[in-house]
Structure 1
Amino acid sequence: MQIAENTVANIHYTLKNDAGEVLDSSEGQEPLPFLCGAQNIIAGLEKALVGKVVGDKLDVTVAPEEGYGEVHEEMVQVVPHENFQGVEQVEVGMQFMAEAPWGQQPVTVVKVEEEGVTLDGNHPLAGQTLHFNVEVVEVRAATQEELEHGHVHGEGDDH
């Protein structure tokens, strides 16, 4: 069976940046399952996997526009230290949920200065070209429940 819309695929992967540093990997873990066509993985990777079958191995390079998008400077803001009441010490790399017009938005602390804390609402991989090494380990038809919910269900799992 080929990976196509409304199929569930399980893949092993290693993700590297342009410098060749490993950013993420399924090595030593269970393969990553995704429901094709449900935007469970980034568009560029899914597009490259369509038509592949069990045993296929491939290297995929994903440009920012088909990955986590370009960096949007308007997503970087300096906020007052008072916004962090109850947090003992705010440090670079900490992540928080911020209230945005569209709802909750994850943000990362990128700078802490006397005049305020700089938060970045861009995805940490925004603006980066991503390099995947992928192996397809399973492909099956999605269940009706998975199609209705828009994601893969594990064994004995309905969510």
Structure 2
Amino acid sequence: MQIAQDSVALIDYTLTNDAGEVIDSSNGGEPLAYLHGHQNIIPGLEKALLGKAVGDSLKVSIAPAEGYGEVNPSLVENVPSNLFQGVEQIEVGMQFHAQTGGGMQVITVTAVEGDTVTVDGNHPLAGQTLHFDVTVKEVRAASQEELDHGHVHGAGGHHH
């Protein structure tokens, strides 16, 4: 069976940046399970996996436009530290959920200077070319429940 719309695929992968540093990997763990065609993974990787079958391996580089997007400068903002009530010490790298006009968003602290905190609402991998080394481990038809929910259930997937 080939990976197609509404199929479940399990993949082993290693994700690296332009410098060759490993960002994420399924190595030593369970393969990543996703429902093809349901935006469970970035668009560029999903396109590269279309038509692949068990045992197929590929190396693919995904440009930001097909990954986590370009960096959007309007998502970087300086805010007063008193907005972080209940947080004893605000440090670079901390992440928070913030309510925005577009809904809930994860923001990352990128600088702290006195009473001013710089936060970034861009995805941490925005603006980066992503390099994937992938092997397809399993492909199967999705269950009706998985299709209804828009994600994989069971091994490697979501557990309700």
Bucket of the pairwise TM-score, normalised by the shorter protein: over 0.9
1:146 to partner: Cα distance: 0.4
Name the SS for the 2:46 alignment partner: helix
Name the SS for the 1:68 alignment partner: coil
Which residues in structure 2 correspond to 1:7-18 (within 5 Å)?
Answer: 7-18=7-18
CA distance in 2 between partners of 1:80 and 1:27 (Å): 41
RMSD, aligned CA = 1.0
- What is residue 78 of structure 1 aligned with on the other side? 78
Letter in 1 for 2:125: L
- What is residue 126 of structure 1 aligned with on the other side? 126
1:158 to partner: Cα distance: 5.9
CA distance in 2 between partners of 1:116 and 1:158 (Å): 40
- Equivalent pairs, count: 158
- What is residue 36 of structure 1 aligned with on the other side? 36
Name the SS for the 1:47 alignment partner: helix
Letter in 2 for 1:62: I
CA distance in 1 between partners of 2:85 and 2:46 (Å): 41
4+ runs deviating over 4 angstroms: none
1:88 to partner: Cα distance: 0.6
Name the SS for the 1:78 alignment partner: strand
Name the SS for the 2:47 alignment partner: helix
Alignment partner of 1:4 is 2:4: yes
1:83 to partner: Cα distance: 0.4
**Are residues 114 and 158 of structure 1, via their aligned partners in 2, closer, same or farther at CA, if it must alter by over 3 Å?**
closer
Alignment partner of 1:139 is 2:116: no
- What is residue 105 of structure 2 aligned with on the other side? 105
CA distance in 1 between partners of 2:69 and 2:159 (Å): 31
- What is residue 94 of structure 1 aligned with on the other side? 94
Structure 1: stretches of 5+ with no match in the other structure? none
- What is residue 60 of structure 2 aligned with on the other side? 60
Normalised TM-score (structure 2): 0.96
Normalised TM-score (structure 1): 0.97
User: Cα deviations across residues 82-103 of structure 1 (Å, max 9, x unaligned)?
Assistant: 1011101000000001110121
Structure 2: stretches of 5+ with no match in the other structure? none
Name the SS for the 1:111 alignment partner: strand
CA distance in 1 between partners of 2:115 and 2:87 (Å): 17
